[in-house]
Amino acid sequence: MTGEAGHPSGSETAPEQPDIDIRTTAGRLADLDARIEAAVHAGKAHRIEKQHAKGKMTARERIRHLLDPGSFVELDALARHRSTNFGQQKSRPYGDGVVTGHGTIDGRTVCVFSQDFTVFGGSLGEVFGEKILKVMDLAMKIGCPIIGINDSGGARIQEGVVALGLYAEIFRRNVHASGVIPQISLVMGPCAGGAVYSPAITDFTVMVDQTSHMFITGPDVIKTVTGESVAFEDLGGARTHNTRSGVAHYMGSDEHDALTYVKDLLSYLPPNNMDAGITFAPVTEEDLEINDADRELDTIVPDSANMPYDMVSVIEHVCDDGEFMQVQELFAPNIVCGFGSIDGQSVGVVANQPIQLAGTLDINASEKAARFVRTCDAFNIPILTFVDVPGFLPGTDQEWGGIIRRGAKLLYAYAEATVPLVTVITRKAYGGAYDVMGSKHLGADINLAWPTAQIAVMGAQGAANILYRKEIAAVAEQTGGDAEAVEKRRQELIQEYEDTLANPYIAAERGYVDAVIAPSETRVQVIRALRALKTKRESLPPKKHGNIPL
């Protein structure tokens, strides 16, 4: 019996081929070829055309674009479901709607599963789930990254509660693999209901603009229960999860862009938590000499403390070849997180961004940075922190939203990190936000400051208004409330405070800062710090696990 395009349909126990005599060795080889061909072409032609019409690749096409040419080794290609409910025995395609296996990316081994929307809508049934579990177990056994390509209509209703059980088995393996091997999710189509929790647990989630959707309950259910009307894209599209919810880490313009991002991301990640880490070509001693590009940092901070500058430019000046790869670039842009190479070593970078909300820390920024710091720490990636933070964002929304608890996640992440921690204070480091941003007090190893650094309990204006309240009031009384005279004196007192306390030298006197350096020296000093810290050994008190303020 053959299916479309002359391929065996896989709807019977074995595809019938009139010309094949399975009693002979040649016949058995031909039978194997026919079965493999059926597995490769499991999706019906019209469904593949529909997939392409949406700008989406098929499951196998995605794997081909992701992995090195010819490196993919498929597992369980001949697996088929065993269900007879609702007439399912009439259609038993090979693979059961998911392609699993292992291959290489830039020569490094990875495991991968790719859900096939052209077969049963990519729905998860018993065999489908078992295949995913098997490849996840393999990834843990050999210590390599696991990449999940999600494009599924959800649970296979015909198979009942077994689908729910397999989802939970996947979640449990996600949790056990967390911090052991890198887990990356590509959401290339629908991902709804319980299925969304697997990508949520993984380290990085990549979506595609206009074609990816993630939500617990869809627009129809929301309309029925709450009366609220919302479009698919607004509810759970790639832009929503990259800008508002923070569920996703990157939004690809198309599937090619999304797959390329994952390949680039993996170039900074080790295969597992026991690996020494990714190394590129280290800089030469000649490269340690300060050059013209380094000197550009000497003028990057404006004279006025209220003027912004782009912290990404600072980061690019320090990274090898000026290459810096952001993570969650569209979410909480007031803090920058991403990967770069410094002295040939993969490094995670966390930095306040003065051009967004003046670089203040809010709920979203705190959680974004905390998750990133913990990811780097889990995989032995040193963390470089750039600080220009005026404090936490004030407001009732922040207070009622739990900034105390959620902001504490960031200080918790830094305090429990045992990887090399290097911090550079470029300008403002005020109040509790100074403590939170990789301070010496939380365990940072090397803390540097630029001469433009202002390390203080609060900004000069607020401090002057408190410290000199009586003096300012006296000036107002003496001048009969002359606003110009009062403001002139207030500015003098602000300047006095800045000159006395809002500088890096008080902190340097107390050892809170290891050195005050010219901005142009930053790259060289960071390289030397990371070299010194390569043999760092630090351990935490024995415990089952900490109780991070989730």
Query: In this structure, what are the phi and psi dihedrals at residue 301, rounded to the nearest 5 degrees?
Result: -85, 120
Instruction: Find out whether 15 and 34 touch, Cβ atoms under 8 Å.
Output: yes
What are the φ/ψ torsions at residue 342 (nearest 5 degrees)? -130, 120
Domains recognised in the chain with CATH numbers:
1-41 (no CATH), 57-266 (3.90.226.10), 286-458+503-535 (3.90.226.10), 460-501 (no CATH)
- How much is the pLDDT for 83? 62
Residue 52, classed as helix, strand or coil, is: helix
H or E stretch at 192? strand 190-192
User: Quick check: helix, strand or coil at residue 448?
Assistant: strand
- Residue 462: the pLDDT is 78
Residue 399: its pLDDT value, please?
A: 97
Residue 31 contacts residue 22 (beta carbons within 8 Å): yes
Give the pLDDT of residue 118: 85
What is the pLDDT at residue 169?
Answer: 96
- The CA distance from 99 to 108, in Å, is 20
Residues acting as catalytic residues: 193-194, 432-433
User: Whole-model pTM?
Assistant: 0.90
Rounded Cα gap, residues 333 and 356, in angstroms: 6
The reported pLDDT for the residue numbered 132 is: 96
Q: Are 123 and 160 in contact (CB under 8 A)?
A: no
Q: At what angle do helices 483-500 and 469-478 cross, to 10 degrees?
A: 150
3-class SS at 129?
helix
What was the pLDDT predicted at 88?
A: 62
What pLDDT is attached to residue 253? 97
Task: For the chain, 550 residues long, give each residue's pLDDT as a single digit of tens.
Answer: 333 333 444 443 444 555 777 778 887 888 787 777 766 776 677 788 888 988 899 999 999 999 999 999 999 888 886 765 655 656 567 778 899 999 999 999 999 999 998 887 778 888 999 999 999 999 999 999 999 999 988 777 777 788 899 999 999 999 999 999 999 999 999 998 888 999 999 999 999 999 999 999 989 999 999 999 999 899 999 999 999 999 999 999 999 999 999 999 999 999 999 997 777 877 777 778 899 999 999 999 999 888 999 999 999 999 999 999 999 999 999 999 999 999 999 999 999 999 999 999 999 999 999 999 999 999 999 999 999 999 999 999 999 999 999 999 999 999 999 999 999 999 999 999 999 999 999 999 999 999 999 999 887 777 777 887 888 888 777 887 778 887 888 888 888 887 787 889 999 999 999 999 999 999 999 999 999 999 999 888 999 999 999 9
Give Cα separations from 202 to 385, 421, 546 (angstroms). 24, 24, 20
- Close Cβ partners of 413 (under 8 Å, ≥ 6 residues apart): 369, 370, 371, 373, 374, 377, 548
